[in-house]
Structure 1
Amino acid sequence: MVSTHTTLGGFSFDNCLMNAAGVWCMTKEELAGVKDSAAGTFVTKTATLDYRAGNPEPRYQNVPLGSINSMGLPNQGLAYYLDYLLELQETEPERTFVLSLVGMSPDETHTILKQVEASDFKGLTELNLSCPNVPGKPQIAYDFETTEAILHEVFTYFTKPLGIKLPPYFDIVHFDQAAAIFNQFPLAFVNCVNSIGNGLYIEDEQVVIKPKNGFGGIGGEYIKPTALANVHAFYQRLKPEIQIVGTGGVLTGRDAFEHILCGASMVQIGTTLQKEGLSAFERITNELKAIMKEKGYESLDDFRGKLRYIED
């Protein structure tokens, strides 16, 4: 019997597929849609302490091989998502969901995490380190000194299962340096990757999104090779108790299979979910199961991380 059951952070999920933060997760209604689909769970929109309207429209655009966006962290605020998750713990206590969050400053990040720590929330928390934080500074996870300082302080008070959402890295030495930092901490998972930052897409001599004069994060087919590289690089480098969530370029069951082959325990779907809707979960799950059946794999453990290399 072929199964896509998986575990993450000590929790079990019937299916390894879920949404990526930013897609089908802004409202309770959207989250309920993912919850009731073929997905194994959902992750909320990355929450800041207070409501944010985000960047001016148009800020997202589907393009032939993916998408480009500069959303500006629009969200309903931490309390909105946390209250909904606490409601679900009462009505569906057998299921586990993921709360994504980040502060607009390191201090706000700690304020948010301390609120989650003090709450009755029993699921997984994802700290989004792939957001710009301070004007003139790079994304948090590209600033290794700041990343290490934030995580060091976080784990002085945060005791619940915590993972981090990462931007893509492009240099082997950066994989080494980042992994050396992450291995110092009791992280439940790392999520690889967020969109490739600051791409530019042009139609009729004009950019297609308004913020930042058209510069935005690239998702979809464009980024699968980069996402797979990050998944596998961290699978090779992180201590075994830090699991990998694979995100980027998942259009088909084959794409999900390759993320798992590279070491992912769960796989998130973003641009494809935005374009296709909730039916994408069932389609991709069925395609993944068909590949597993054809290859004689009954569980994800049969092939997770078992990417083959070309030997001399």
Structure 2
Amino acid sequence: MPASLSTELLGSVFENPFMNASGVHCMYVNELDELSESKAGAFITKSSTPSERAGNPEPRYISVPLGSINSMGLPNQGFEYYLDYALQRQKKHPDSEPLFFSIAGMSIDENLSMLEKLQNSEFNGITELNLSCPNVPGKPQLAYDFELTKEILTRVFTFFKKPLGVKLPPYFDFAHFDIMAEILNGFPLAYVNCINSIGNGLFIDIDNESVVVKPKNGFGGIGGEYVKPTALANVRAFYTRLNPSIKVIGTGGIKNGKDVFEHLLCGATMVQIGTELQKEGVSIFERLESELKQVMNNKGYKTIDEFRGKLNSL
């Protein structure tokens, strides 16, 4: 009997745990449709702001040897564009798996306003509140301000009753894992997504003796193979600290089936692919499916639940 890759979140069973990372291959309707028709088990929209944004000046995304650096500045088509897509999809495919809908306002009030609109709409998918946007000049990452994070979530859950997850930046200290987990455990969250890119990295073009992205004097978020150890650490740290009802989505450094297995072993329920999806296109999901099954078959696992979260310590 071949290995099953099915995974469950919020009562929905997904064919496999693969998703795109928000920001990659999800800006326009045609890209979202390609994700829908791909081998991805689920997919998520581009993080939206209330109005359309052009984003930062180019070049703002560059592939580098072990991943990518980007300073995108939240380019998107605006909240209503993605909500219209979500509602149309629900009408056309009422029995399909839930859509993940990402929002990333430029202020607390913008986030609250979009969440209110989602709450009052017919949207029946899963919302992801992006608390980690490292690439907007002059704007700090919300999730590094613990008091403000608690305040925002307190306000959100006074009115928001639909499934909600949060996208987190990477943390690097056990004390920060502890503090953030204690805050998150106080709310009825569906999941946490670990991690967004590692903020404010710098990549150098040695021939031209220059940076490679234009915004922020070359500082940008690092993704790809560079970030996998940090991503795995954050998945593991939150999996072992959060209430079992709060699932973990693992994002960062996934290039092959072995990488997926490692995220799941650390406790992830689903995984998102960013840099490699940008490089390879939606065909990556079929390859990852085959490679993860091969890893599981070699180890004798028939289901993900047999090993999820069961990382051994020495």
TM band (smaller chain): over 0.9
With normalisation by structure 1, the TM-score equals 0.97
2:237 corresponds to which of 227, 233, 237: 233
1:170 corresponds to which of 169, 172, 175: 172
Counterparts of 1:215 and 1:134, CA distance in 2? 11
Give the aligned partner of residue 102 of structure 1. Answer: 104
Counterparts of 1:168 and 1:10, CA distance in 2? 28
Alignment pair present for 1:12 and 2:18: no
Alignment pair present for 1:213 and 2:214: no
Deviations 1:177-216 (A, max 9, x none): 0000000000000000000000000112111000000000
Going from structure 1 to structure 2, the CA distance change for 1:201 and 1:282 (only over 3 Å counts) comes to: same
Counterparts of 2:56 and 2:136, CA distance in 1? 16
8 Å Cα contact 1:9/1:124 also seen in 2 = no
Q: CA RMSD in A?
A: 1.2
Counterparts of 2:271 and 2:39, CA distance in 1? 13
Deviation at 1:10, TM superposition (A): 2.6
Deviation at 1:9, TM superposition (A): 2.5
Deviations 1:43-95 (A, max 9, x none): 00000111000000000000000000000000001110011111111111122
Give the aligned partner of residue 290 of structure 1. Answer: 294
Deviation at 1:218, TM superposition (A): 0.1
Give the aligned partner of residue 309 of structure 2. Answer: 305
Counterparts of 1:93 and 1:137, CA distance in 2? 38
8 Å Cα contact 1:133/1:140 also seen in 2 = no
Alignment pair present for 1:154 and 2:167: no
- Output the amino acid matched with 1:188: A
Give the aligned partner of residue 83 of structure 1. Answer: 84
Q: What does 1:1-312 align with in structure 2 at a 5 Å threshold?
A: 1-95=2-96, 96-131=98-133, 138-203=140-205, 204=207, 205-310=209-314
- Output the amino acid matched with 2:241: R
- Output the amino acid matched with 2:9: L
- Output the amino acid matched with 1:56: P
The number of residues matched between the two structures is 310
With normalisation by structure 2, the TM-score equals 0.97
Spell out structure 1 runs of 4+ moving beyond 6 A: none
Sequence identity of aligned pairs in percent? 63
- Output the amino acid matched with 1:268: Q
User: Which sits farther off after the overlay, 84-93 or 147-156?
Assistant: 84-93
8 Å Cα contact 1:51/1:76 also seen in 2 = yes
8 Å Cα contact 2:26/2:44 also seen in 1 = yes
Counterparts of 1:12 and 1:101, CA distance in 2? 24
Counterparts of 1:100 and 1:154, CA distance in 2? 15
Counterparts of 1:211 and 1:65, CA distance in 2? 21
